[in-house]
Structure 1
Amino acid sequence: MKSTTSIENESLKSYPEPEVSEASKKYFNGDTLAAEVWKNKYALKNGEGEYFERTPDNMHKRIAREFSRIENKYPTPLKEKEIYALLKNFNYIIPQGSPMAGIGNDFQISSLSNCFVIGVENDADSYGAIMSLDEELVQLMKRRGGVGLDLSSVRPKGSKVHNSALTATGIVPFMHRFSNSTREVAQGGRRGALMLTLSSKHPDALDFTKAKRDTTSVTGANISLKVDDEFIKAVKDHTQYIQQFPLNSEDPKLTKKIKAEDLWDEIIEGAWKSAEPGVIFWDTVQRESLPDRYHKHGFTTTSTNPCGEIPLCPYDSCRLLAINLYSYVKEPFTEKAAFDFDLFKDHVHKALRLMDDLVDLELEKVDNILKKIESDPEPDQYKNREKKLWTKIRNKTAKGRRTGLGVTGLGDMLAGLGIQYGSEASIILAEKVQKTLALSAYSSSVKLAEERGAFPVYDENLEKDHPFLNRIKDEAPEVIEGMKKFGRRNIAMLTIAPTGSTSLLTQTTSGIEPVFRIYYTRRKKVNDSSEVTGKQYFTDENGDKYEEFAIIHHKFRNWLSSKGFTDEEITQLKPKDLDKLIKDSPYRQSSSEHIDWKSKVKLQGKLQKWVDHSISVTVNLPEKTSREVISGLYMDAWEAGCKGITVYREGSRSGILVSDESKKSTDFQETIAPKRPEILDASVIQFLNNDEKWVAVVGLLNNKPYEIFTGRADDSFSILSKVKKGRVIKTKGKNGKNRYDFQYLDADGYKVTIEGLSRTFNEEYWNYAKLISGVLRHGMPLKYAVEMIDDLYLDAPTLNTWKNGVKRALLQFIPDGTIPTDNLCPNCKSPAMSYQESCLLCNNCGYSKCG
């Protein structure tokens, strides 16, 4: 069914990819990264790669039409134009991830849910039950959802089993199984995301905690330990702690006494070394969970989604939507700056309506998935498993109508108001904003219950004296009175989720995080010093000059403009100028490396009081941070009422962390490249350089890259577009210089020779290729060669895409695990990943593991 009140009635029209790139880049005011993220992740396109949206404006009209269609089913519907105005330009309301890509998208049969949790019935721990979980997580991930899975029902290592093994293998082998399944789904353009959790009460908790210590194990999953209050108190009191299995049994089959501090020290060691495991304060989660009051209806929370912001019961799911806080600052960066609470309240009411509409849209999507399963030609014995899975998800979605309304842009909101992030004033204001959101959302849900009906299992008696509702009662008793009369439309509705990709599109800070970096610099070599006259430049030790470009945070540019700087003047600012300006700006001491962790934890704890789900946030710490500081941080987070905590110590996930100092040497050792044979075997890799098809020919010596050639496929390389391997022959040309020819066998077994591989190079490409070939010939490990290529300062868009293509070509020869996958972007293969909001974000292409 199509809306009849459409803003723009037009037939579906396709656009060529170059036009989409150019138009979306213009839409984002020249921000290539934002344009590419939108085009690749959210623009409407079919399976053949045809684009049917030219800019995000087309996408926002598509989403507005669908929301309006659902609104028209109910009383007092929002108008399509009003919905479109809320979405337009990413100003106010932003559906995240799956909803943005999937609403109104008939080309994909996928879910609109960002996250799911699965589980076994009655804590079954048989192989059959565990294998069913493995199948279910794959089925969900292929529909785009991230999955959470608790392992606490799995028998601990050494337990008796009634099969030929005699004893159970424990938790860790199943961690590897689920991780590997996730990595398999992540291949071929799909993205898998998995959270594995375990209770601290489980006898295998220590093994679970240490499972990812070397950064090469369980790489397809995030892991978090669910610690209870009893455990935390035992750590503080230096006493013993009892583990048992089954966890909640009054007559457990296995009990184990441990020194609580021993397990705690391993948790801290893991956080210090590799940022995992995260910690979930499970008793706090359950005390504060409204859905858990409905445990008899199947709403017992067991795990969280991959980034920890949505604790869920098995087979429930959640959809995410964020409100851009910066857009509610009136006259930002001026003395008149103020937060528009009236507009904010109005928009929160409408945002919650749209979130409830999103539940209806998801139910439609699940129905389509069930129809697709029914029509599939495979035998019923296979189809029935997937059908049963989605039926359970549909029932739980309809029963609770759970939503995930959150915020983004807090860091820029504070700066726009002239308030320093992390200050006492910033925490007070942030709490006021989140409290306003919570009260307005719950008020809206009560109004929706009056108009549309309460969620099916709503029962006022089950929610008596709930701490979250008591806080609402103290601030807005009329909301609770309305709830007693009409009920509530949604079982739970608030979160603060990672907004990695979303923040690139809003061009703001992410979630409740501070700005990651206010600026960073790139350099481009110039051959003629006259070219940099009047411009900033850097001169290296060889006297070579490089023009410097500052990549500046969008809203800091706005502050500069408010101080009278023109775009041209901003472009010419040198790093030392920027550093001085930052000190005089509202962004002073407000980037992630400057934020005091105590203020970050205090902020999270204050906001958590007004979030009925949880908060995804990462505390970034300097490399020299001690284990004792991290231990104190975790204790402070528990005492502040946080539901979970994740830290990232700078450099802790870059590979092997501990080295033998005695083996280090500062002596310079010269290397001699092996002489090049006349003939080298070669592999051919195809890639895109902007919109052009290119190929890379990698010459191999002893099966390792020795040299590389690249060229455009529409020139003399066109014949290589379908060639996979051949050989490179080194000869002398008529001018006496070296010439490299490529030779391969065609389909009929005839030798085909392409003369002069360097023919299509322009000078800059050729110089960089010679540099890369030189370091390869002298034996630089591929890991470091790729990192060197990634660090090349290439400002021209074509050079950047050429660089990415060369990296992809070389990465084909790196075995899995050689480069830690936490640092390697699965999209662009660049080792440019950083931690933001419990989420990995690629600073090269904008890929986000969980955004």
Structure 2
Amino acid sequence: MAHDPFTSGISRHIWDTKYRYREGETEHDRSIEDTWRRVARTLAAVERDPAAWESRFYAALADFRFLPGGRIQAGAGTRRRVTLFNCFVMGIIEDSMDGIFDGLKEGALTMQQGGGVGYDFSTLRPSGTTARSVGAVASGPVSFMQIWDAMCATLLSTGARRGAMMATLRCDHPDVERFIEAKQAADRLRHFNLSVLVTDAFMQAIREDADWPLVFPLEGEARAGDEIVERDWSGAAGPLPCRVFRRVRARALWDKLMRATYDYAEPGVIFIDRINRLNNLWYDERISATNPCGEIPLPPYGACDLGSINLTCFVRAPFMEQATLDWDGLGSTVEIAVRMMDNVIDASQFPLAKQAERARGTRRIGLGLTGLADTLILLGLHYGEEAARARAAEIMRVICHTAYRTSIALAREKGGFPFLNREKHLAGEFIRGLPEDIREGIRRFGIRNSHLTAIAPTGTISLLANNVSSGLEPVYDFHYSRRVLELDGTYGEYALVDHALDFWRGLHGDDPLPRTFVSTQQLAPEAHLAMQAALQPFVDNSISKTINVPERYSFEEFKDIYARADNLGLKGCTTFRPNPVTGAILKIAEQPENAPLCCSVEREAD
């Protein structure tokens, strides 16, 4: 009897509705093995010896060892006009009606082909100011975001798979308070995730309880009485003269941001100066936006293809004293995964020519992990304890360093990425922290990919892989139900059992669970932060992490989470506390589900 890779109904459902290749009544993929073969064949086609690489790629995909991003699984080898890239950041929005609607059109074309998009709206002048060229009064960035939101809803009504968008705004933009409050009504901007771009100077002003100027680049000549300061600004190569509109207390603005996040789960925070300081391409680009879930900070027209190593596949002797990881198997799978993801860049279509130019010039990829929490349980480790963080960091170190060594070998074989400046690349802060053999390899041979690691949410592909825990998140709960969209447009309800619990029951039946079976609800926010901080040193892109906060958590305790995230060197922070607008992400037992639209399983970024 043939081996069935699926052990849960929802996994088969995810494959059937999201990744199975069918055209009308014709089912090209009769089984998930056909899907794996289709992806392997397509990505091997760019190799000199396609047949040999196809078999290696297939072996990495088999039994969900390597999980390419959802766009790769759904689109590779099909006749659809789609991109294989999950993530895009769009171009700088020019502060004019032409520029705004050009940006809207580019976003629509990108989402139509399956890409999630990020925008920085900081270039749009604040509400109430006058555009001197036409004498009209500006309505501000938040009002124009509503046009994007309507566009996204319209695309979804035509059957587009997803409509995830990220909007960012600088912490010193005069409309930042309106941006902070933008999603406090249940019917506003539901297709956007929001994040404030927080600078080092702002965090310093908070610590010093100083005033904070809200500014915007000067248009034309300064007027009498204008206070002018120089600021780095979105879309500009260097500092610009900016007019101070008003001053607020830094701590008051921070508290307003924290209160919105506490009450409504948005906006998140992006530590943008740290992102740019640690960017491997610090010499070639400035970043002011991310993909919809935040794990890929990107420059204008930047793109990134994603993939995740399913760690549960590499546990040996689970639940036993000698439980360990197959380190050799993990390393060899990482090597194959990097090659496959690099080939995606050559195999993919792009909605816009500028996206293709940027992707092929940098060859950025984002390889990460999923199933971490389940893997720790299988190894007998408690997610909230130091031993688990040490093992997780060791795993991510192996993924990172193996990926870099593989990329150097690919550069020897195929050439480095076109935008590479070896001397400046080696001077980058992240690169300087890598082992000497990696830096020497870059010096001698270059490197194929500008960036290599990212940790994505992996919500959908983790469900596909028999409901392993997603990304680096703790197990949400060991029993819960999920409401998902069926092919006929109706919703089905699936009872889910966590992969580690299912494994335990297969071995030990109803025996009492070890203390390592710990879920999100049993972990303090500090445990979430500590795990993210343990992995961050080995991630050159970023990490998508949601810190679940109990509803009863006090505001004073809550707002300290973000300051600690900054102190721990994280690139961003997102929390979720149940609230009347967004409800709960998943449902335990029979509680009603009301997930944020951009984070539902229908439109996740994987």
Same fold (TM over 0.5): yes
TM-superposed deviation, 1:35? 1.2
TM-superposed deviation, 1:187? 1.5
TM-superposed deviation, 1:612? 0.5
Match of 2:264 in 1: 274
TM-superposed deviation, 1:292? 2.6
Q: 1:562 pairs with 507, 510, 529, which one?
A: 507
Match of 1:251 in 2: 241
Gaps of 5+ in 1: 1-22, 370-389, 523-548, 571-576, 657-786, 794-822, 824-830
Gaps of 5+ in 2: 218-230, 233-238, 483-493
Q: Does 1:56 align with 2:32?
A: yes
Q: Does 1:40 align with 2:14?
A: no
Please give the residue correspondences for 1:602-681 in structure 2 after superposition, counting only pairs within 5 Å: 602-654=530-582
> What residue identity is the alignment partner of 2:578?
E
Match of 1:422 in 2: 384
TM-superposed deviation, 1:287? 0.8
Match of 1:454 in 2: 416
SS across alignment from 1:70: coil
Q: 1:443 pairs with 402, 405, 412, which one?
A: 405
Q: Whose radius of gyration is greater, 1 or 2? A: 1
Match of 2:159 in 1: 189
SS across alignment from 2:67: strand
Q: Does the Cα contact within 8 Å between 2:361 and 2:418 map onto a contact in 1?
A: yes
Q: Does the Cα contact within 8 Å between 2:460 and 2:604 map onto a contact in 1?
A: no
- Output the CA distance in 1 between the equivalents of 2:328 and 2:605: 32
TM-superposed deviation, 1:322? 0.7
Q: Go from structure 1 to structure 2 and tell me whether the alpha carbon gap of 1:792 and 1:302 turns closer, same or farther (over 3 Å shift).
A: closer
Please give the residue correspondences for 1:779-818 in structure 2 after superposition, counting only pairs within 5 Å: none
TM-superposed deviation, 1:498? 1.2
- Output the CA distance in 2 between the equivalents of 1:429 and 1:27: 28
> What residue identity is the alignment partner of 1:644?
G
Q: 2:442 pairs with 471, 477, 483, which one?
A: 483
Match of 1:28 in 2: 6
Q: Go from structure 1 to structure 2 and tell me whether the alpha carbon gap of 1:301 and 1:551 turns closer, same or farther (over 3 Å shift).
A: closer
TM-superposed deviation, 1:338? 0.5
SS across alignment from 1:492: coil
- Output the CA distance in 1 between the equivalents of 2:338 and 2:556: 42
Q: Does 1:217 align with 2:179?
A: no
TM-superposed deviation, 1:188? 2.7
Please give the residue correspondences for 1:840-851 in structure 2 after superposition, counting only pairs within 5 Å: 840-841=599-600, 846-851=601-606
Q: Does the Cα contact within 8 Å between 1:623 and 1:652 map onto a contact in 2?
A: no
Q: Does the Cα contact within 8 Å between 1:63 and 1:104 map onto a contact in 2?
A: yes
TM-superposed deviation, 1:210? 0.8
Q: Does the Cα contact within 8 Å between 1:272 and 1:652 map onto a contact in 2?
A: no
Q: Does the Cα contact within 8 Å between 2:481 and 2:589 map onto a contact in 1?
A: no
Q: Does the Cα contact within 8 Å between 2:89 and 2:289 map onto a contact in 1?
A: yes
1:760-800 residue CA offsets vs partner (Å, 9 max, x unmatched): xxxxxxxxxxxxxxxxxxxxxxxxxxx9xx9998xxxxxxx
1:613-634 residue CA offsets vs partner (Å, 9 max, x unmatched): 0000100111111221221100
- Output the CA distance in 1 between the equivalents of 2:582 and 2:106: 32
TM-superposed deviation, 1:243? 2.2
TM-superposed deviation, 1:642? 0.7
TM-superposed deviation, 1:255? 3.9
Q: Does the Cα contact within 8 Å between 1:28 and 1:34 map onto a contact in 2?
A: yes
1:692-731 residue CA offsets vs partner (Å, 9 max, x unmatched): xxxxxxxxxxxxxxxxxxxxxxxxxxxxxxxxxxxxxxxx
Q: Go from structure 1 to structure 2 and tell me whether the alpha carbon gap of 1:169 and 1:79 turns closer, same or farther (over 3 Å shift).
A: closer
TM-superposed deviation, 1:839? 7.0
Q: Does the Cα contact within 8 Å between 1:496 and 1:511 map onto a contact in 2?
A: yes
Q: Does 1:102 align with 2:30?
A: no
Match of 1:338 in 2: 324
- Output the CA distance in 1 between the equivalents of 2:208 and 2:305: 41
Q: 2:106 pairs with 130, 136, 143, which one?
A: 136
1:267-322 residue CA offsets vs partner (Å, 9 max, x unmatched): 1111111110011011111111112321xxxx321210010010001112111111
Q: Does the Cα contact within 8 Å between 2:382 and 2:515 map onto a contact in 1?
A: no
Q: Does the Cα contact within 8 Å between 2:166 and 2:194 map onto a contact in 1?
A: yes
1:229-264 residue CA offsets vs partner (Å, 9 max, x unmatched): 111121122111122112535422344321111211
- Output the CA distance in 2 between the equivalents of 1:305 and 1:791: 29
Please give the residue correspondences for 1:353-368 in structure 2 after superposition, counting only pairs within 5 Å: 353-362=339-348, 365-366=349-350
1:131-157 residue CA offsets vs partner (Å, 9 max, x unmatched): 111111001000000000001111112
- Output the CA distance in 1 between the equivalents of 2:133 and 2:48: 58
SS across alignment from 2:213: strand
Q: Does the Cα contact within 8 Å between 1:434 and 1:607 map onto a contact in 2?
A: yes
1:39-92 residue CA offsets vs partner (Å, 9 max, x unmatched): 01000011x253221221110011111222222369xx95322221111121x1
Please give the residue correspondences for 1:365-404 in structure 2 after superposition, counting only pairs within 5 Å: 365-366=349-350, 390-404=352-366
Further displaced range: 245-254 or 93-102: 245-254
Further displaced range: 152-161 or 509-518: 152-161
Q: Does the Cα contact within 8 Å between 1:234 and 1:241 map onto a contact in 2?
A: yes
- Output the CA distance in 2 between the equivalents of 1:628 and 1:316: 37
Q: Does 1:93 align with 2:83?
A: no
SS across alignment from 2:354: helix
Please give the residue correspondences for 1:187-336 in structure 2 after superposition, counting only pairs within 5 Å: 187-190=157-160, 191-246=162-217, 247-248=231-232, 249-294=239-284, 299-336=285-322
Q: Does the Cα contact within 8 Å between 2:191 and 2:598 map onto a contact in 1?
A: no
- Output the CA distance in 2 between the equivalents of 1:593 and 1:465: 42
TM-superposed deviation, 1:652? 4.6
> What residue identity is the alignment partner of 1:586?
T
Q: Give TM-score, length-normalised by structure 1.
A: 0.64
> What residue identity is the alignment partner of 2:460?
S
Q: How many residues align?
A: 572
TM-superposed deviation, 1:455? 0.5
- Output the CA distance in 2 between the equivalents of 1:336 and 1:839: 42
- Output the CA distance in 2 between the equivalents of 1:177 and 1:839: 16
Q: Does the Cα contact within 8 Å between 1:202 and 1:245 map onto a contact in 2?
A: yes
Q: Does 1:500 align with 2:434?
A: no
Q: Go from structure 1 to structure 2 and tell me whether the alpha carbon gap of 1:184 and 1:290 turns closer, same or farther (over 3 Å shift).
A: same
1:573-627 residue CA offsets vs partner (Å, 9 max, x unmatched): xxxx8xxx23x3531xx21111121121111122111100000010011111122
Q: 2:117 pairs with 137, 147, 150, which one?
A: 147
Q: Go from structure 1 to structure 2 and tell me whether the alpha carbon gap of 1:261 and 1:521 turns closer, same or farther (over 3 Å shift).
A: closer
TM-superposed deviation, 1:551? 4.9
Q: Does the Cα contact within 8 Å between 2:87 and 2:605 map onto a contact in 1?
A: no
TM-superposed deviation, 1:413? 0.8
Q: Does the Cα contact within 8 Å between 2:140 and 2:175 map onto a contact in 1?
A: yes
Match of 1:72 in 2: 48
- Output the CA distance in 1 between the equivalents of 2:247 and 2:495: 57
> What residue identity is the alignment partner of 1:112?
L
- Output the CA distance in 2 between the equivalents of 1:293 and 1:494: 19
Q: Percent identity?
A: 33
> What residue identity is the alignment partner of 1:213?
Q
- Output the CA distance in 1 between the equivalents of 2:278 and 2:125: 29
Q: Does the Cα contact within 8 Å between 1:307 and 1:839 map onto a contact in 2?
A: no
- Output the CA distance in 2 between the equivalents of 1:111 and 1:84: 21
- Output the CA distance in 2 between the equivalents of 1:792 and 1:231: 43
- Output the CA distance in 1 between the equivalents of 2:315 and 2:39: 25
Q: Go from structure 1 to structure 2 and tell me whether the alpha carbon gap of 1:239 and 1:449 turns closer, same or farther (over 3 Å shift).
A: same
> What residue identity is the alignment partner of 1:101?
A
Match of 2:395 in 1: 433
Match of 2:516 in 1: 586
Cα RMSD (Å): 2.5
Q: Go from structure 1 to structure 2 and tell me whether the alpha carbon gap of 1:444 and 1:464 turns closer, same or farther (over 3 Å shift).
A: closer
Match of 2:128 in 1: 158
> What residue identity is the alignment partner of 2:565?
A
Q: Does 1:553 align with 2:308?
A: no
Match of 1:117 in 2: 89
TM-superposed deviation, 1:554? 2.6
SS across alignment from 1:54: coil
Q: Give TM-score, length-normalised by structure 2.
A: 0.90
- Output the CA distance in 1 between the equivalents of 2:598 and 2:369: 16
